[in-house]
Amino acid sequence: MNSGDTAFMLIATAMVMLMTPGLALFYGGLVRSKNILTTMMHSFACLGIVSIIWVVYGYSLAFGPDVGGIIGNLDWALLNGVGLEPGRYAATIPHLLFCAFQLMFAIITPALITGAWAERMKFSAYLIFTTLWITLVYFPVCHWVWGGGWLSQLGKNFALGHGHVDFAGSSVVHMTGGVAALAGALVLGPRRGKFKADGTPNAIPGHHIPMAMVGCFILAFGWFGFNAGSTLAGGDLRIGVVAVNTMLASAAAAFTSMLYMWNRYGKPDISMIANGFLAGLVAITAPCAFVNSVAAVAIGAIAGIFLCLGVFFVERVMKIDDPVGAISVHGVNGAWGVLSVGLFADGTYGDGLNGVAGTVKGLFYGDASQFTAQLIGTATNIIFVFVIMYVFFKVLDKFVPLRVSEEMELAGLDHSEVAVNAYPEFNLNKTHR
Amino acid sequence: MNSGDTAFMLIATAMVMLMTPGLALFYGGLVRSKNILTTMMHSFACLGIVSIIWVVYGYSLAFGPDVGGIIGNLDWALLNGVGLEPGRYAATIPHLLFCAFQLMFAIITPALITGAWAERMKFSAYLIFTTLWITLVYFPVCHWVWGGGWLSQLGKNFALGHGHVDFAGSSVVHMTGGVAALAGALVLGPRRGKFKADGTPNAIPGHHIPMAMVGCFILAFGWFGFNAGSTLAGGDLRIGVVAVNTMLASAAAAFTSMLYMWNRYGKPDISMIANGFLAGLVAITAPCAFVNSVAAVAIGAIAGIFLCLGVFFVERVMKIDDPVGAISVHGVNGAWGVLSVGLFADGTYGDGLNGVAGTVKGLFYGDASQFTAQLIGTATNIIFVFVIMYVFFKVLDKFVPLRVSEEMELAGLDHSEVAVNAYPEFNLNKTHR
Amino acid sequence: MNSGDTAFMLIATAMVMLMTPGLALFYGGLVRSKNILTTMMHSFACLGIVSIIWVVYGYSLAFGPDVGGIIGNLDWALLNGVGLEPGRYAATIPHLLFCAFQLMFAIITPALITGAWAERMKFSAYLIFTTLWITLVYFPVCHWVWGGGWLSQLGKNFALGHGHVDFAGSSVVHMTGGVAALAGALVLGPRRGKFKADGTPNAIPGHHIPMAMVGCFILAFGWFGFNAGSTLAGGDLRIGVVAVNTMLASAAAAFTSMLYMWNRYGKPDISMIANGFLAGLVAITAPCAFVNSVAAVAIGAIAGIFLCLGVFFVERVMKIDDPVGAISVHGVNGAWGVLSVGLFADGTYGDGLNGVAGTVKGLFYGDASQFTAQLIGTATNIIFVFVIMYVFFKVLDKFVPLRVSEEMELAGLDHSEVAVNAYPEFNLNKTHR
């Protein structure tokens, strides 16, 4: 046990907790004023619901003793046996603190999805969704990658590098969330007025861009806890690498998304830059400990371009309405991030990871099998999450209407869903309402 | 001395400092736009005034060498002898750092009171109040519980468990503040227009609910420093328990306050949920290190209900105007939190606390005397703070008018009290002004 | 190597990163709504550009092996050789983490300048400015003071105390930024409408004061990482002194600036109090580890007065338009802070600093030569930064217009520079636009 590690993980836990409110602000600023509180409430609800589920059975399913590589058993339900001794996952901190840290990841994953469904989803349906989704999708995927499940054992069992490697969650958190966002947005359909009769999109501007910027920056702050905390030890010197790479990738991504928009539309677009910044953070999340600084810049720079391409592809080609860009930020760049481990991992870290001797090396450093493991994990994530989500949403819609009524949507969801007017004193113009 | 502990306490100190601005935002969002800056200024002023007083004589009164169990003496005035060696209270960090950490608690206590007096209190009176109140009320109560005073010695002297136990301040900070808020709101009277002639209340909606939400979340972030930092050592493994319990209680309280409002009014009310969230944090503050996860959920769940009941009782039965719910959040749930130690403490922590051998056990684990100690502390706090405050406010009002004039109140306090218009470019409607 | 130190420095790095968004909010709230996003973008751009430059050659120029006391060489370009071993500057943390921590300082320095140029500078010119300025001004000054350059060697070479001493950046970060802000504001000229024909200033109120307050508080939070992190070791007990002094100086400065305004204009002015608060933080940044608590209060109290005097002098005597007070906050009080080391350093810290035996003592503790070293550094900073900046800006203006066109300025920069409307749904009045 180590006081520096324990102290560090407590602070990192608080920093990751703060990311969910960060999302609430980012998404809240990007929707119309009539829906802001409902949008914030989606994130807030995750804090409440997922915390309770996590204690009751979630932590045990995700991280508990493995059942056939598929899921944890219920030995740790109600945190039974999860105490102050070091646990299976971190030798120098209390097991319970690891559990608290991972709780924050479980909270933010359903929260990040919600942006894609903003301004039209019914709050009660959302609560049911969160409960079931976290159970059916998040806990298994988390177990496969981080809980000792089959994806993490691809190396040991099939000589595919170190198995599927995802340092801090490009796959487990972001891709999972992004793919679910896509499936949900497909089933839900676009907001009224988003697309013209001929399918061309209308811009529906966010009502408070400075608020979105604050959210973006709170996310970036928390991300240092998210990525560096995933060492599970403040004394792991690797956090030096993680810190530099996290900053560099986000900077590079913000930069390339700025250049892309400036070049294409003649002006830098601040909301795309903010999304680019986040895309860089998402992409570097999986590789942050395994790659060098130059690779981090490359991964980020590419993430910024992917973000712009993704946003336009989703809106203009797929005709899907994603009010905040969550599908591109988290889905596209989650996939890019986890694949980039298989390209850029430089063999300086990860000795013995997932029970495989030697360090983690990507394709550019001679290990094509690591890239294969990353590909398998990525494909599995996309297919599993998309199919489960799509079926689940279609079925759920039979029992609980997922969308609010047309009148509610026009009036704004805050009126019907949270009973409070966000800005009762401010005169708002009607054109955007 | 330990680097992990020292590092941890520095960060925890910064996190607790941030809670006072968090309050400024929470309260600022819940008042009308014409009073927001004055409301924020109340919190800001605490940072300035209490810091200076703390150095001059405050720390010495609260934590200095004991005089008859009642108050500290002035040996440590001007931080004389408070240096880098370990102090009396924490063996592994510099004494001065403990002093800085406790300063942040002394700052937030008068700041949290102010919400109940918002939109009508004169700023100059508030400055005098803060100076005197922190001296006459906070320093003694803090000394009784944390500085080795008589409440902490109830165990040693009268065999009442470990004496009055309050891990991180449900009593010292929150109940003290909440009771003072109640007494002050009684003397000040309601805002003009709050109650109709027949005594039924009018709703006066907060002008910027997203701002209140940001404040709520900043508070929650800081609370991890507040509760976990109260171990005074990053290396105390107990911070694992503290982190999990802090999250669980707030989640459960947000959840039950949501259900209560949804059930009773047909819609979840986001501002009551936010207050519920905070109520859960207040309640778990005293017991966070002494109870298990299931108890934390129970304490939080009950706190969420107490919050709703308290808000309605204060407004509808007592006819007291508390614009932000401070009396219920901090007063009612501060009392509940400190009592819950006497119920749920499970005997896994606190060996030797307050000079009593053995761990802390509550009524449900067989030690009724601990509950008695909690009851005595609670009753003492309520009576002492209420009486002192009520008399003090009545006397102060003779010399310095506590309320602004009617014209000032109608025009908004920002105009007369801070000379700046919060939103000079935004068109505001007249109906709520 | 030490886990507590490494953990601490990672968190401190994240906290200092958050200060740049804090500036974005502070400045954003103090400008008009039509320019807020461009103002935020200035800070955002620093995160992107400086990060990349830092890796490519910046860190090496600032901190790399010394060339004649003037600048670092390029041995560490692309972070070559900067890895997980302890580096030259901190024995207990990875070199790369020190590099990440210092990156955040390099980011905030050009960001803090931008407030003085708000509402009129062209974004493309700003990007060129940042790239060149950080290279021509920041890296050399940083090297002189912190990288082993000539100012730090004044003690060793000329028996001037410990050479120029600046614990956390009153000089390197704040004065450098403040002087550049002054030179730039001179060349740029005032906003249209700021001064009447007779030279008397018009007030142009900030559009969102609560946002500015949030920014101010985020800055204060980050400052604990900024100052305490500059020990480069969580285990340095001195962080106890740093924490207390940081809080005290900011409190005292807020207090004196409140009293000054109250006394002079009959009302406390919240935006001057916030600027006073920051001025106290700027001033204590250099001396925070070297002075006692009473001196910290004195330094802060004087800083609050200097801030008020500075703001009025710049606006009314120099007729320079500094929309946010950056010149006075960072320039005037940066100078005051670094000079105050030479007055108040009490000989309890700094043994062996800059290769000079014994602790650091100021004039009041008998070492006039230390004050001389502080004076030389201050004069050098002012002359070097001002001359370089003034020439550089004049030359740059020949190639790239620094100011937007009159129409753009009237329409607001957000329209032309970031393509997004900050508040599309809010009705804004025309009087302030």
Contact at 8 Å (CB) between A334 and A145? no
- Could you tell me which chain A residue has the CA closest to the CA of B297? A52
Confidence (pLDDT) at C149: 97
Instruction: Say how far apart CA A371 and CA A34 lie, in whole Å.
Output: 46
* pLDDT on residue B4: 83
What would the pLDDT profile of A132-146 be if each residue is shown by its tens digit?
999 999 999 999 999
Q: Are C189 and C345 in contact (CB under 8 A)?
A: no
> How many other CB atoms sit within 10 Å of the CB of residue C29?
25
Short-list A425, A290, A411, CA closest to A348: A290
**Tokens 């298990």, residue located:** B292
Q: Which chains does chain C touch, 3 or more C-beta pairs < 8 A?
A: A, B
As a whole number, mean pLDDT of residues B362-387 equals 98
Judge: B238–A84 Cβ closer than 8 Å, yes or no: yes
pLDDT < 50 regions, chain A: none
DSSP element (H, E) containing B111: helix B95-113
**Cβ–Cβ of C240/B79 closer than 8 Å?**
no
Minimal CA separation from C310 to chain B, in Å: 20
pLDDT value for A230: 92
- Output DSSP code: residue B311: H
Check CB contact of C405 with chain B, cutoff 8 Å: no
User: Per the CB < 8 Å rule, is A248 touching C55?
Assistant: yes
CB proximity list for C76: less than 8 A, separation 6 or greater: C59, C60, C63, C64, C65, C82
Counts for chain C of helices (H) and strands (E), in that order: 17, 2
Q: What is the pTM of this model?
A: 0.97
Rg value, chain B, Cα: 21
Residue B3: pLDDT band (50, 70, 90) is confident
Nearest-CB residue to C427 (from A32, A238, A428)? A428
pLDDT at B432 over 70: no
Closest by Cβ to C425, choosing from A2, A32, A238: A32
Contact A319, A268 (CB under 8 A): no
pLDDT recorded at residue A432: 59
**Res B416: pLDDT:** 86
In this model, does residue B430 exceed pLDDT 80? no
Q: Could you give phi then psi for residue B163, rounded to 5 degrees? A: 75, -175
Chain A 64-103, residues with CB within 8 Å of chain B CB atoms: 78-79, 84, 93-97, 99-100, 103
Whether residues A425 and B33 touch (CB distance < 8 A) is answered with yes
Question: In the prediction, which pLDDT does B419 show?
Answer: 80
C360, C341 in Cβ contact below 8 A? Answer: yes
φ and ψ at residue B82, rounded to 5 degrees: -95, 100
Residue C432 in this model has a pLDDT that exceeds 70: no
At C433 the pLDDT is 55
* pLDDT, average across residues C380-397: 95
Interchain CB distance below 8 Å, A40 and B213: yes
Q: Which CATH class is domain A3-417?
A: mainly alpha
Which of B112, B124, B128 is CA-nearest to residue B38?
A: B124
Distance CA C46, CA C51 (A): 8
The least confident of A83-97, B362-376, B418-432 is B418-432
Judged by DSSP in three states, C202 sits in coil
**Are A421 and B205 inside 8 Å of each other by CB?**
yes
**pLDDT at residue number C431:** 66
User: What is the rounded average pLDDT of the residues B113-142?
Assistant: 96
Nearest by CB: C13 against A233, A235, A243: A243
Please name which of C423, A30, A38, C420 lies closest in space to residue B427, comparing C-alpha atoms.
Answer: C423
Contact B240 A96 (CB under 8 A): yes
* pLDDT at residue B278 in the model: 98
Distance, in Å, from the CA atom of A301 to the CA atom of A296, rounded to the nearest integer, reads 8
Contacts of C238 in chain B (CB under 8 A): 84
Written as six digits, the tokens of A141 are 């995927």
The backbone torsions φ and ψ at residue A201, rounded to the nearest 5 degrees and listed phi first, read -80, 145
Tell me the average pLDDT of chain B. 95
* Cβ atoms C235, B3 nearer than 8 A: yes
- Averaged pLDDT for residues B312-316: 97
Which residues touch A328 (CB under 8 Å, ≥6 apart)?
A178, A275, A279, A306, A307, A309, A310, A311, A313, A314, A322
CA–CA separation, A245 and A288 (whole Å): 6
Give the per-residue pLDDT at C420. 87
pLDDT over 80 at B395, yes or no: yes
Query: C237 vs C124, which has greater pLDDT?
Result: C124
Interatomic CA distance for residues C384 and C341, integer angstroms: 21
CB C74 within 8 A of CB C64: yes
A414 interface with C at CB cutoff 8 Å? no
Asked if C294 has any chain B CB less than 8 Å from its own CB, the reply is yes
Enter the tokens of residue B191. 């805002």
Residue whose structure tokens are 């400075």: A210
Q: Are C311 and C275 in contact (CB under 8 A)?
A: yes
pLDDT digits (tens, 9 = 90+) for A113-122: 999 999 999 9
State the Rg of chain C over Cα: 21
Backbone angles phi, psi at C39, to 5 degrees: -65, -45
Of A3, A94, A419, the CB nearest to B267: A419
**Nearest Cα residue to A246 out of A262, A223, A263:** A223
Could you give the percent of chain C with pLDDT greater than 90? 91
* DSSP H or E run through C67: strand C66-67
Residue from the list B209, B233, B240 with its beta carbon closest to the beta carbon of A100: B240
Closest CA to A28 of A233, A307, A214: A214
Percent of the residues in chain C that have a pLDDT greater than 70, as a whole number = 99
CB contact under 8 A, A293 and C49: no
Q: Which residues of C touch B37 (CB under 8 A)?
A: 209-210, 213, 270
Q: What are the tens digits of pLDDT across the range A362-397?
A: 999 999 999 999 999 999 999 999 999 999 999 999
> Is C210 touching A (CB cutoff 8 A)?
no
Q: Give the model confidence (pLDDT) of B166-194 as tens digits.
A: 999 999 999 999 999 999 999 999 999 99
B270, B290, B433: which to substitute to probe chain A, counting the most A Cβ within 10 Å?
A: B270
Give the closest residue to C106 by CA, choosing from C167, C53, C67.
Answer: C53
The predicted structure's pLDDT at residue C113: 96
Question: A244–C99: do the CB atoms touch at under 8 Å?
Answer: yes
Give the SS3 label for residue B153. Answer: helix
CB B402 within 8 A of CB B393: yes
Q: What is the pLDDT of residues C287-333, one digit of tens each?
A: 999 999 999 999 999 999 999 999 999 999 999 999 999 999 999 99
CA C373-C374-C380 angle, 5° bins: 90
Nearest by CB to C418, from A2, A248, A269: name it: A269
| Bridge partner residues of B67 (DSSP) | B71
The span from the CA of B209 to the CA of B269, in Å, is 11
Please determine, for residue B433, whether its predicted confidence score (pLDDT) is greater than 60.
Answer: no
Length of chain A equals 433
Which of B247, B255, B262, B291 should one mutate to test binding to chain A, selecting the residue with the greatest count of A CBs within 10 A? B247
User: How far apart are alpha carbons A177 and C326 in whole angstroms?
Assistant: 42
> What pLDDT score does C418 carry?
86
Angstrom distance (rounded) from CA B211 to CA A284: 31
What does the block give as tokens for B54? 């703390």
Residues in a beta bridge with C121: C403
Q: Rounded to an integer, what is the distance from CA B174 to the centroid of its chain?
A: 3
- Our CA-based measurement puts residue C140 at a distance from the nearest CA of chain B, in whole angstroms, of 31
Q: SS3 for chain A, per residue?
A: CCHHHHHHHHHHHHHHHHHHHHHHHHHHHHCCHHHHHHHHHHHHHHHHHHHHHHHHHHHHHHHCCEECCCEECCCCHHHCCCCCCECCCCCCCEHHHHHHHHHHHHHHHHHHHHHHHCCCECHHHHHHHHHHHHHHHHHHHHHHHHCCCHHHHHHHHHCCECECCCCCCHHHHHHHHHHHHHHHHHHHCCCCCCECCCCCECCCCCCCHHHHHHHHHHHHHHHHHHHHHCCCCCCCCCHHHHHHHHHHHHHHHHHHHHHHHHHHHCCCCHHHHHHHHHHHHHHHHCCCCCCCHHHHHHHHHHHHHHHHHHHHHHHHHCCCCCCCCHHHHHHHHHHHHHHHHHHHCECCCCCCHHHCCCCCECHHHCCHHHHHHHHHHHHHHHHHHHHHHHHHHHHHHHHCCCECCHHHHHHCHHHHHCCCCCCCCECECCCCC
Contact C8 B3 (CB under 8 A): yes
Task: Give the mean model confidence (pLDDT) for residues C20-26.
Answer: 97
Q: What is the DSSP string of C7-65?
A: HHHHHHHHHHHHHHHHHHHHHHHHS-GGGHHHHHHHHHHHHHHHHHHIIIIIHHHHHSS
pLDDT digits (tens, 9 = 90+) for C47-100: 999 999 999 999 999 999 999 999 999 999 999 999 999 989 998 899 999 999
Nearest-CA residue of chain C relative to B93? C237
Structure confidence at residue B272 (pLDDT): 94
Preferred mutation among A2, A5, A8, A257 to probe C, highest tally of C CBs within 10 A: A8
ipTM, interface predicted TM-score of the complex: 0.95
